[in-house]
Amino acid sequence: MRQTFALLLFASIGLPLAVAAAPVKPAPAPPVDWHQHLLTKEMAEPGQKPIDAKALTAMLDAAGIKRAVVLSNAFRFGSPDAPPIPDEYARVIAENDWTAREVAKYPQRLVAFCSFNPLKEYALGELARCARDKRFGRGIKLQFGNSGVNLDDPTDIALLRRVFRAANTNGMTLVVHMRTQRPNPYGAAQALSFLDEVLPAAPDVPVQIAHLAGGGGYGDAAMDGALDVFQAAIGRQDPRVKNLWFDIALIAGNETQAPRIAQRLRALGLGRILYGSDGGDPTDPPAREMLAIWRKLPLNPAEFRAIESNARR
């Protein structure tokens, strides 16, 4: 009787006896990861496996990502924190060329950007060499922290300005890890120096600020101060930031900061945000896991789509 009553009840209100859950179609992956790295045997820590182009494309496949911009790690050889290297520039060239050779194995999927310490005497020469070499994409990676950049030092500002000017002349995108390392100061004042003194030297090319102007993670006052400067410039439609972009590599993962991250992305403008996951370090989560972490931020589906479909102009 109970079964008969249940059948009559479902029929009377027009419900099926069993409701099959419609399959939920997963959101498509971002078409491009704008911030990736490889890892040579020489740079791998003991016990770590190198990450070549084959390994990277396998990780991208697992995440459903079609393409990636691969940023050379050659800047590491110019770090003032490392012991001096007698053949430093030769090592920089070799690292950049290795990255280019690896990326050339997957020309439809990967693009290589070269890198170097912008304060070194060989900086302009390496930029010009990379600009001539068609194995590289039209872009360079600068790592201010690893390179010992001090945005309060007029000499460093002048050296940065000449690199930005040369990149602009050669039509090369700049991907900038702007966060400096202690003891060099970082915050609103240094971001203002960058905006006033450095960025105007490259008015015609995209400038991509890595890690949302931090060094990975989110939440410290220095990073917020730097972002406040850029946000204010964007809000007043300052022409100096017309080609300014931000990638989100390694910023997600801290649930307590997630609402603030989402709020900041909206304030900067979703149209200026690029998806990136970093990589190049075996201790970092692989691309698939990074995408899952990113998608836990409190953004709605339309906002995720807007960011993930962005492409630098």
Instruction: Judge whether residue 11 has pLDDT over 50.
Output: no
Distances (CA, A) of 247 to 2, 31, 33: 60, 14, 10
Residue range 177-209, pLDDT digits in tens: 999 998 999 999 999 999 999 999 999 999 999
How far apart are the C-alpha atoms of 152 and 160, rounded to whole Å? 12
How far apart are the C-alpha atoms of 163 and 232, rounded to whole Å? 26
- C-alpha 276, offset from chain centre: 4
Residue 25 banded pLDDT, cuts 50, 70, 90: low
How far apart are the C-alpha atoms of 252 and 264, rounded to whole Å? 12
- Best-predicted range by mean pLDDT (15-19, 193-197, 220-224, 252-256): 193-197
What percent of the chain clears pLDDT 90, i.e. is strictly above it? 81
Question: Other C-beta atoms within 10 Å of 130: how many?
Answer: 28
Contacts of 102 (CB under 8 A, 6+ apart): 38, 52, 53, 70, 110, 112
Q: Are 171 and 205 in contact (CB under 8 A)?
A: yes
How far apart are the C-alpha atoms of 227 and 30, rounded to whole Å? 24
20 or 130, which is more confident: 130
pTM: predicted TM-score of the whole model, two decimal places: 0.91
Q: Side chain identity at 123, as an amino acid letter?
A: A
CATH superfamily placement of domain 28-308: Metal-dependent hydrolases (3.20.20.140)
Tell me what pLDDT residue 281 has. 83
Q: Are 179 and 215 in contact (CB under 8 A)?
A: yes
Q: Where are the domains of the chain?
A: 28-308
